[in-house]
Structure 1
């Protein structure tokens, strides 16, 4: 059996796993912190599973207060690390996060285009606006939510404009006639906008994919608008079926309104899978992790997620009083994630202890616990009901949880015709089934650029 639609999978890597207590497991790789070699290994595991992407989140600030409880998630700079990982992998796409609030378009366009050349056409950029870190860039206070997304939209416009500045046939490398490249086929950008003035052209030629793939991670209304307009894929947190379907339909509708083919915009929610031989053994794994949680640390982490709410004196087994939680419109950072937790606390009356476990286990993402068949059934159900085009797998504990997913869940999906058994292309754009963009073409018999 095969289906016309195929699942897409990425792995979101970092630290010893997403669960805040995963580093305390005896099989964790915490002693390898900050984790260059373990991350290389994780990329190789995902590539063995024929995943589309290896994805690195990022943060540009360190909360020193959390250091006693867990290593920082993703402390290594993504684009440098992905260049190293490109040398120990062959097919898997490499997506790095970079902030439009704390970067410059020309610099980032060069870095990402270089990664695409280094990796042979596997680079992608996860566009974020950042919710913290202004104090490290001399730019306090952080710009408001709407301003950050206006800047992000213009930033992406500049970067893609720079990538398109070289025509595919700009380089002739004609030794006999002494013509290396045609200046008329390398175009200045001459961008003058609200936030940026960039002349161009980029000094890096068109890359193997034509341009790196664009990914957007942000589910607020402003984030959705940017993603629907410019992204090739959207990473989101959708833990419940109905909201996932609504988000999926809304984004595809917005893409269509922008004149885009909605099939060329993938919706890839985060997935935190805990896989056991049986449902019972999977829940035993989860309970082992939760038993390692420092509950007071959990109060602080959840409080920060809830707009700085003080949860220190609340009963763990009772819901959070609504009056402690600000309205979502007053939240400037991670607004969509805050809305998820506020709904669980206010509308569904989850007790504080359960919310802490959800935050430390899944960070608002879809947390699936079960046997391989149960996990596969859940993913197929969400996929078939148009709640996702695939999933960004976030291992709760590394590397074992990803190994279990690849060894036991992926084969089920392959047998049922929902996922590839081999890579069909070599670039990330091909993995995502996106329309081809012409790459730089150097005439046969000439010297390739960079050789």
Structure 2
């Protein structure tokens, strides 16, 4: 891939209503009801108008049968299954990357490799896979997981899952289906196929994938993880990492650490894009922006069961400190360690932690005019803290419309964000190379 000027990557963490936990309670929001494809189409087309790299669809799969009382006040899910949604959005979009979250605990490499290859062809090379290995209690109950893997075991399974998926995508040469001959009756030459014979700890696969190699070679690999295990996994496999940091110093430390791990896997620093999550509140003045932020704080519901980054803190005094030796959550250990460090450093109460941390999932918050917001993004981009940002609009579609209409032009004027798409695939948007077929590389080395 030819060298190009480094530019900011922008994406959006797309959730029903918005990414603030209480967006559904805001005025003008159509809360409830069945999911509507038209709403997602409108959001994705807004992102294309703003020249964003990709739309990121999370997935919180699995609600235990005893979670009704929690969901009745804090809705989870309610949207489409991500892979199904990205396939549907393919025909309503042309340029925007479509990234689906798929959990490695509840799938098998063959069926997922087949589906992701299909979506990459349906989108003409715009697919991405957010690799998730978390395992909530609700998911365990939903899928009947009697003996769940521990934290290290889940990462181990996820690593083998990716390795097998790559082998399956490489089971056909890039041009394997391009030489069908009606005259000879040969649809394809057997030498262009590379059967997968995998006997591993978690998976046993003996197969050829029944679809051509993806347009991008592989879909772009995404991963979110702040723990040491998550960072190491990202250094080996991820091409975009979705991170959390509230200060530029924390972001710089994360950026330097995770990129510093790439060399041991034969990778270059630019092979992994670091994109912290970002909440933002935009106003014509700083006061107006602050008032928008305050209105969301006032909407936070602190009644009933109180959850702080996956830990139930309902039994503790709301205006008391975070207790010592409180158990760590099974998932999101890196984020939890950030919570504890912040609580101890600033002597915050549980109420203050929920308002400052849990409602924005530990991500940075920028508040101000469009010019203020653009300056702050540029600061992190230019000073080794981020390659881009995964935006978390508090309210959809209004918060997203504001960013596209008001902040994007400011970033373009600063020369750090595109005015037009220069490529057609998600890899081209991100400046990532297209991986060659591993079997072709073996043949070259053997020659």
TM-score, structure 2 normalization: 0.91
Partners of 1:83 and 1:199 in 2: how far apart? 27
Unaligned runs of 5+ in 2: 438-447
Partners of 2:73 and 2:329 in 1: how far apart? 26
Answer yes or no: is 1:223 the counterpart of 2:230: yes
Q: Which position in structure 2 is the counterpart of 1:448? A: none
- The 3 A distance-change label for structure 1 pair 368 and 32 is farther
Partners of 1:322 and 1:38 in 2: how far apart? 44
Partners of 1:183 and 1:74 in 2: how far apart? 46
Number of equivalent positions: 428
Q: Which position in structure 2 is the counterpart of 1:152? A: 158
**Structure 1 position 140, deviation (Å):** 2.6
For each residue in 1:8-32, what CA deviation from the matched residue of structure 2 results, as whole angstroms up to 9, or x when unmatched? 0111101111112111112223245
Partners of 1:44 and 1:187 in 2: how far apart? 39
Q: Which position in structure 2 is the counterpart of 1:449? A: none
Q: Which position in structure 2 is the counterpart of 1:169? A: 175
For each residue in 1:338-385, what CA deviation from the matched residue of structure 2 results, as whole angstroms up to 9, or x when unmatched? 111111112222232221112453111112121111111111111111
SS at match of 2:75: coil
Q: Which position in structure 2 is the counterpart of 1:201? A: 208
- The 3 A distance-change label for structure 1 pair 315 and 23 is closer
Q: Is the 8 A contact 2:14 2:58 kept in 1?
A: yes
Q: Which position in structure 2 is the counterpart of 1:22? A: 23
Partners of 2:340 and 2:54 in 1: how far apart? 31
Q: Which position in structure 1 is the counterpart of 2:293? A: 286
For each residue in 1:282-331, what CA deviation from the matched residue of structure 2 results, as whole angstroms up to 9, or x when unmatched? 1111112222221225x6122xx2633x3444142x432334x23xxx54
Partners of 1:358 and 1:31 in 2: how far apart? 27
**Structure 1 position 257, deviation (Å):** 2.0
- The 3 A distance-change label for structure 1 pair 254 and 360 is closer
Q: Which position in structure 1 is the counterpart of 2:146? A: 140
Q: Which position in structure 2 is the counterpart of 1:408? A: 406
Partners of 1:277 and 1:398 in 2: how far apart? 19
Q: Mean Cα displacement is larger for which, 33-42 or 262-271?
A: 33-42
Q: Which position in structure 1 is the counterpart of 2:434? A: 436
- The 3 A distance-change label for structure 1 pair 55 and 28 is same
SS at match of 2:306: helix
Partners of 1:201 and 1:340 in 2: how far apart? 44
Find 1:270's aligned residue among 274, 277, 297: 277
Q: Is the 8 A contact 1:28 1:399 kept in 2?
A: no
Q: Is the 8 A contact 1:321 1:346 kept in 2?
A: no
Answer yes or no: is 1:320 the counterpart of 2:322: yes
Answer yes or no: is 1:64 the counterpart of 2:62: no
Q: Which position in structure 2 is the counterpart of 1:5? A: 6
SS at match of 1:391: strand
Q: Which position in structure 2 is the counterpart of 1:98? A: 102
Q: Is the 8 A contact 1:95 1:125 kept in 2?
A: yes
- The 3 A distance-change label for structure 1 pair 79 and 218 is same
For each residue in 1:230-257, what CA deviation from the matched residue of structure 2 results, as whole angstroms up to 9, or x when unmatched? 1111111122211211111111111122
**Structure 1 position 219, deviation (Å):** 2.0
Partners of 1:32 and 1:39 in 2: how far apart? 14
Alpha carbon RMSD of aligned pairs, Å?
A: 1.8
Partners of 1:110 and 1:24 in 2: how far apart? 39
Q: Is the 8 A contact 1:270 1:393 kept in 2?
A: yes
The correspondence of residues 25-424 of structure 1 with structure 2, limited to 5 A, is 25-31=26-32, 33-62=34-63, 63-73=67-77, 75-132=79-136, 133-171=139-177, 172-297=179-304, 300-302=306-308, 305=309, 307-308=311-312, 310-316=313-319, 318-323=320-325, 325-326=326-327, 330-424=328-422
Unaligned runs of 5+ in 1: 440-451
TM-score, structure 1 normalization: 0.91
SS at match of 2:221: strand
